[in-house]
Amino acid sequence: MNDTTQQQNNPQQEKPKVDLITKFIGSGFFTGYTPFAPGTAGSALGLAFFFIPGFMDLHVLVPCTFVLFLIGGLAAGKMEELYGQDPGIVTVDEIVGMWLSVWFIPFTFLNITLAFIIFRVLDILKPYPAAYFDKRTGGWNIMMDDVIAAVYTNAIIQIVLRVKLF
């Protein structure tokens, strides 16, 4: 009997384990464990970072976004192995999306609030090509649908600021 046959015949097959650091990162600093609207909780936490003095400085925000995208993609992939395709518990993608939504946007309460609302709506609606990534498995796909929603959010706000609607 080979290993594959033994695994198929073993209903008690071990699920992959996820360490605490992976859970911490993948769940968006544990916001994914929120019982109601974990994606919104993750986005709100991403928003809260903007109130840390100096965090909105592009020399801080841009590298933090890239680093969290990279480690978040790895953590999301591991979490997906345990919890299934794009589990709601994974909210690191919302934090990265919220941060990317405000790149090069002047920090005002109105702009940040607008970014939060637009990002949440687009993250839920999943406009093309976000829906493509949302249907695929893997940590990078989990991250990419939110990155796309964030790019659209940022573009909308940039247009609004140039048209001077607010």
Beta carbons of 49 and 99 less than 8 angstroms apart: yes
> For position 2, what pLDDT does the model report?
46
Over residues 106-126, the mean pLDDT reads 95
> For position 36, what pLDDT does the model report?
93
**pLDDT tens figures, 122-148:** 999 999 999 999 999 999 999 999 999
**pLDDT above 90 (res 24):** yes
Pick the closest to residue 151 from 124, 129, 166 (CA basis): 129
**pLDDT above 50 (res 109):** yes
> For position 17, what pLDDT does the model report?
83
> For position 84, what pLDDT does the model report?
87
**pLDDT above 70 (res 152):** yes
Per-residue pLDDT band at 9 (split at 50, 70, 90): low
Segments making up each domain of the chain, as ranges: 41-163
Q: Give burial (CB, 10 Å; 0-12/13-18/19+) of 99.
A: buried
Q: What is the DSSP string of 126-158?
A: -TTTHHHHHTS-SHHHHHHHHHHHHHHHHHHHH
Per-residue pLDDT band at 18 (split at 50, 70, 90): confident
